[in-house]
Amino acid sequence: MNSQENLRAIKVIGHRNPDTDSICSAIAYSRLKNILDPEHPCKPCRAGLLNRETEFVLDYFQVPAPQLYTDVSPQIRDVDIRSMEGVDGETSLRRAWMIMRDQQIDTLCIVDHEQRLKGVITVKDVATANMDGLDTAILEKAETSYQNILDILEGTVLVGSIEGKQVKGRIIIGSGSAEQIEKSISPGDIVIVANRSESQLAAIEMGAGCVVVCADSKVSRTIRMLAEEQGCMMISTPKSTYVAGQMISQAAPIRHYMTENDLLTFNLNSPVEAATKVMTSVRYRYFPVLDDDGRYVGVVSRRNMMGLHKKQLILVDHNEKNQAVEGIEQAEVLEIIDHHRIGSIETDGPVYFRNVPVGCTSTIIYQMYEENGVEIDRTTAGLMLSAILSDTLMFRSPTCTTADERAAWRLAELAGVELEAYADAMFEHGGDVSGKTAEELFNTDYKIFDSGAIRFGIGQGSYMVERNRKASEALIAPYLPVALEKQGLDYIFYMFTDVRGSSTELLMAGKGAESLISRAFQVEVQDGLAVLPGVVSRKIQLLPRIINAIREEEQ
Examine the pLDDT at 186 and tell me if it is beyond 60.
yes
Residue-range domain boundaries for the chain: 3-74+310-430, 78-128+256-307, 145-251, 438-554
Separation in Å, CA 324 to CA 71, 196, 318, 328: 10, 81, 7, 7
CB contact at 8 A, 304 and 78: no
* Mean pLDDT over the full length of the chain: 92
- The strand pairing partners of 458, in sequence order, are 447, 493
**What type of residue is 392?**
T
**Burial call 501-526: b when 16+ CB within 10 Å, e when fewer:** eeebbbbbbbeebbebbeebbeeebe
pTM: predicted TM-score of the whole model, two decimal places: 0.70
Secondary structure letter of residue 74 according to DSSP: -
- The strand pairing partners of 91, in sequence order, are none
Q: What pLDDT is recorded for position 2?
A: 44
pLDDT digit string, tens, across residues 484-518: 999 999 999 999 999 889 999 999 999 999 999 99
Q: What pLDDT is recorded for position 174?
A: 86
Beta strands in 218-345 (DSSP E): 233-236, 266-267, 287-290, 296-300, 312-316, 332-338
Task: Report residue 529 CA to chain centroid gap.
Answer: 44
Cα end-to-end span (Å), the chain: 56
Q: Note the CATH number of domain 78-128+256-307.
A: 3.10.580.10
Exposed (0-12), middle (13-18) or buried (19+): which is 93, by Cβ within 10 Å?
buried
Coil/strand/helix, residue 343:
coil
Average confidence (pLDDT) over 128-132: 82
**What type of residue is 410?**
R
Question: CA torsion sign, 301 to 306 to 307 to 313?
Answer: positive
CB contact at 8 A, 368 and 31: no
Examine the pLDDT at 227 and tell me if it is beyond 60.
yes
Q: What is the DSSP string of 182-203?
A: HHH--TT-EEEE-S-HHHHHHH
Q: What pLDDT is recorded for position 132?
A: 72
pLDDT digit string, tens, across residues 80-125: 899 899 999 999 999 999 999 999 999 999 999 999 999 999 999 9
Q: What fold, for 145-251?
A: 3.40.1390
pLDDT digit string, tens, across residues 28-73: 999 999 999 999 999 999 999 999 999 999 999 999 999 999 999 9
Is CATH 3.40.50.620 correct for 438-554?
no
Q: What fold, for 3-74+310-430?
A: inorganic pyrophosphatase (n-terminal core) (3.90.1640)
Task: Report residue 442 CA to chain centroid gap.
Answer: 28
**What type of residue is 412?**
A
